[in-house]
Every structure is written in C-alpha cells, then in structure tokens.
Amino acid sequence: MNYLNIKYFPANISFYLFVIFINLFFVLIFTANIFWITTEKTKELKNSKILLIIPKNLDEIEEKRDLIFNQLSLENQIISVEVEDNKRVKILLEKILENTSISDEVIPEVYSLIVKNQKKINLENLNNKISKIISSAKIFSTYDAPKDFLKEPYALFYFLIAIFSITNYFLINNIIYKINNYLTIGRVLGIKDFIIYKNLNIGFFLIIFMSFLMCYIIYFLFLSRGHNNLLVFDKNLYIYFYICLSYYLFFLFNFNLQLYSFFKKKL
C-alpha cells in the first residue's frame, strides 16, 4: 500500500482531499450552470413559434397566398398552418413600436407554422421559395430573438471559466511544489520522465474521477429537483460526460505543461 501511495500519490492525503474538493466545487458549479442554460434554451425552443408574415393590399393576394400554402404543404416537417389572431398581432406590433397605434389595414396576415421539429426547419430555404411568390413575405422563428434572461448565465459561465483557469494554474503549481521532493528524488534515482508522467497522471485521473463521481451523485440526486434522474442514461448523461471530459482534458493539459516546465528547469 505504501508503494502505491508513493508511486501514484506522493503528497499527503490531506492535500489530495483538498484537491478533490476544489475540483468538486468547480465541476458542480459548471454542471449546474450548463444544465440550467440547456434547460432554459429547451423551454424557449418549445415555447417559440415559426411565423409566416404576408403583407396585405397586394395584387392577387388570395391566389399568391394559396401558392405559398401549397409550397409549405410540400415540406415534410410542416404539419399545418394556423392563422394568428389579428388583435394579438396588433398588440404585439404596438408594443414593438413603443405603443404606436397601428391601423388594422396595415397589419399583415400572420400565420403560425405547426412543425414536427423546429431544429430541422431550414428557414433560409423556405424564405427563398416563398419570396419567388411574394417578395415581401417572410418566415421567421421567435426563438431567434436574443433572450435577456440567458445573458447573465452566459456571463457567469465565462466568468467561471476565467476564475477556474486562474485557480487551476495556481492549484497545479502548488501540486508540483508539494511533490517537488518526489520529482527530484525520482530524477536522481534515474527514473525516466515518462514513468513519472504516467504515474502522476494515473494518480490525478483517479483523484479527479472521484470529484466527478461525487458531483454526479450530488447534482443528479439532490440539486436537479427531479429534472434529471441519477440512474437514467439519457442525453443529460452525455452532457455531463462532455463536461467531465472537457474539464479533465484542460486539467491534464495544464498539469503536464507545468510538469514539463519543471523538468526543463531541473536540467
């Protein structure tokens, strides 16, 4: 057991516990923030609409409208087209125009497209097709509008990345300082750098894996409020896997870079 400790975990156990909890803290914050953003974006996508706007007072409007509907019926992702209430459209336009009153005659015809999967709708392609019938007609998604409530979580996410990068640098610097004697003695005894790299990377993989496992249990069991299940293997598990993979690769790169720099100084 002592041999394994020296080989893979040359520092004292209290220091490794500190490393585990520091990594747990950051992984937990990243996980909560990313899942919150993805959940809210999914809600917004479900609540959003794809709208068709056709201006009024055009020549042969009924014939051209029918041609557009015929064109839309050829799209396998479009289930149906529903007309939007004129009063609701008027209220919305007046709000956008800062409470400017609008005459009913200039309010365009607005239709909601009921689709199977919004992500598979090619709006640019649809607009190219209907513009050949009515050049001023337009199809757009309300999801494309920027969401103010998502700006703060994104800002927090980027701020966390900055704080994590700085903390991770000094944490790894401290790790190398703690195992300085181990590295120096290993060099003196003729142990190859590759062996030292391998042993330390195995040790820190196990340490970080423990942080990932603890985060998984804490978040999915206690913090997700029933939105995510601990034992369900769905897309959320894959998202968490990519969070952990990205986190570990960043740690791995930073650790080995600083370790390489340490060995260079010792030459």
Question: If pLDDT is split at 50, 70 and 90, which confidence band does 144 have?
Answer: low
**CATH class of the domain whose range is 56-136:** alpha beta
Overall pTM surpassing 0.75 (yes/no): no
Rounded Cα distance between 226 and 180, Å, is 46
Rounded Cα distance between 55 and 241, Å, is 48
- For the segment 174-219, what is each residue's pLDDT rounded down to a tens digit? 888 888 888 878 777 777 878 888 888 988 899 999 999 999 888 8
Rounded Cα distance between 181 and 187, Å, is 10
- For the segment 1-25, what is each residue's pLDDT rounded down to a tens digit? 445 556 677 778 888 899 999 999 9
Report which residue type is found at 92. L
Give the highest mean pLDDT range of 73-82, 139-148, 249-258.
Answer: 249-258
Instruction: Examine the pLDDT at 26 and tell me if it is beyond 90.
Output: yes
Of the ranges 41-55, 156-170, 226-240, which one carries the lowest mean pLDDT score? Answer: 226-240
The residues spanned by each domain of the chain are 2-43+148-266, 56-136
- For the segment 81-127, what is each residue's pLDDT rounded down to a tens digit? 888 777 776 666 665 555 556 666 667 778 888 888 777 788 888 88
Tokens of 36: 């919150």
Tokens of 114: 């009921």
Phi, psi of 142 (to 5 degrees): -70, -15
Could you write out the three-class secondary structure of 218-244? HHHHHHCCCCCCCCCCCHHHHHHHHHH
- Strand-pairing partners, residue 31, are none
Helical (H) or strand (E) element with 110: strand 109-115
For all residues of the chain together, what is the average pLDDT? Answer: 80
Rounded Cα distance between 197 and 195, Å, is 5
In the DSSP assignment, the letter for residue 112 is E
Give the DSSP per-residue string, 66-105: HHHHHHHHT-TTEEEEEEPPHHHHHHHHHHHTTS----GG
